[in-house]
Amino acid sequence: MECISIVIIILAVIVLLISICIVLFNRNKLNKIMKHLNSMIDSAIRGSFTETTYNESKMSALEVKLHQYLWESETSSKNLAKEKEKIKSLISDISHQTKTPIANILLYSQLLLEQKLTNEEEQYASQIMTQTEKLNFLIDALIKTSRLENGIISVVPQINNINDLLFSVQKQVSSKADNKHIDFIIEQTQEKALFDMKWTIEAIANIVDNAIKYTPEYGRIAIKTTAYELFCRMDIADNGIGIDESEFSRIFMRFYRSQIVSEQEGVGIGLYLSKAIISAEGGYIKVASKLGEGSVFSVFLPKCN
């Protein structure tokens, strides 16, 4: 019995030693694999990845796949850069080639209107000028949008005063509000936020311009700022025609225009551009409205911490 017990103990010790050896061998093998994978990833990050001598091992097959993936990614990035450069060149050409003809048409239209014309001729000249101004606005808006979408123009948020932003917007749109006798009120604030001043003026001015356009004469537009922990909220409220709730998600789409405003001037690009700018700054826009009761566009800009 004692011999049997000794044999069992010896066998158990042998099995234990073999198990320990297997575990240590597998751990060492796993460490080598992980070290090799880590080295492969580091090389890929540095852009210096190369395959080792090919053999039939799984690691070699992984190296081949990784090399193929990196090569395809690099090729895709180069093609994307080339396409972006082509778009940049195209946009630049469109901008350059259209500015002079449009400026000339506006100039000649103005000269015509200064001449002694019949009522019919004056009406035609006025229509030429109006439609050319619309074309100029549309091309300018499309170029700005394309540049933003393709990263040709980058939005650079910095710490700026909300007050400076709002009064710059007021200066830009005040003549339109005055022409309709609209009471335009801005509540002063000492708050600051992270945004690109130039582009955010464009975004807010587009929203206010829409409010002026769809608010009747002697109406009211008010801008109020509220500070939260992470964002500054600007509420742009009007007592205009309002927006149906079913259209809330569509008004920020490019070229979308509601049926109830189809007879009024506009091309449906302003709100799309505003959303693109605010989103690029890490902010967002919400809208609340009822038909016949006005609208409130709430712009949220990140606060500086």
Report the CATH number at residue 130.
1.10.287
Residue 265 sits in the same domain as residue 134:
no
Q: State residue 20's pLDDT score.
A: 81
Residue 197 sits in the same domain as residue 294:
yes
Last residue of a domain, one of 99, 132, 149: 149
Last residue of a domain, one of 122, 149, 176: 149
Residue 298 belongs to some domain of the structure: yes
Residue 129 sits in the same domain as residue 203:
no
Residue 4 belongs to some domain of the structure: no
Give the number of other Cβ atoms within 10 Å of residue 246's Cβ.
8
Q: State residue 97's pLDDT score.
A: 74
Asked if 212 contacts 270 with a C-beta cutoff of 8 angstroms, the reply is no
- Name the pairing type of β-strands 220-227 and 183-186: parallel
Residue 69 belongs to some domain of the structure: no
Residue 285 belongs to some domain of the structure: yes
How many domains are contained in the chain?
A: 2
Report CA-CA distances (Å) from 63 to 42, 56, 58.
Answer: 13, 11, 9
- pTM for the predicted model, two decimal places: 0.62
Residue 119 sits in the same domain as residue 190:
no
Asked if 181 contacts 290 with a C-beta cutoff of 8 angstroms, the reply is no
Residue 292 sits in the same domain as residue 237:
yes
Residue 274 sits in the same domain as residue 254:
yes
CATH number at residue 196: 3.30.565.10
Q: State residue 165's pLDDT score.
A: 95
Last residue of a domain, one of 114, 149, 184: 149
The alpha carbon dihedral of 175, 176, 178, 182 has a sign of: negative
Residue 289 sits in the same domain as residue 181:
yes
Q: Residue 129's domain spans which residues?
A: 77-149
Q: State residue 46's pLDDT score.
A: 66
Residue 82 sits in the same domain as residue 191:
no
31 φ, ψ (degrees, to nearest 5): -65, -40
Residue 94 sits in the same domain as residue 180:
no
The alpha carbon dihedral of 4, 7, 9, 12 has a sign of: negative
Residue 137 belongs to some domain of the structure: yes
Residue 127 belongs to some domain of the structure: yes
List, for the chain, all residue ranges whose pLDDT scores fall below the cut of 50: none
Q: What's the CA gap between 153 and 156, in Å, rounded?
A: 9
Cα–Cα nearest to 123, from 135, 131, 138: 131
The alpha carbon dihedral of 259, 223, 191, 173 has a sign of: positive
Q: What's the CA gap between 15 and 17, in Å, rounded?
A: 5
Residue 194 sits in the same domain as residue 247:
yes
Residue 243 belongs to some domain of the structure: yes
Residue 210 belongs to some domain of the structure: yes
Residue 185 sits in the same domain as residue 263:
yes
Give the number of other Cβ atoms within 10 Å of residue 173's Cβ.
20
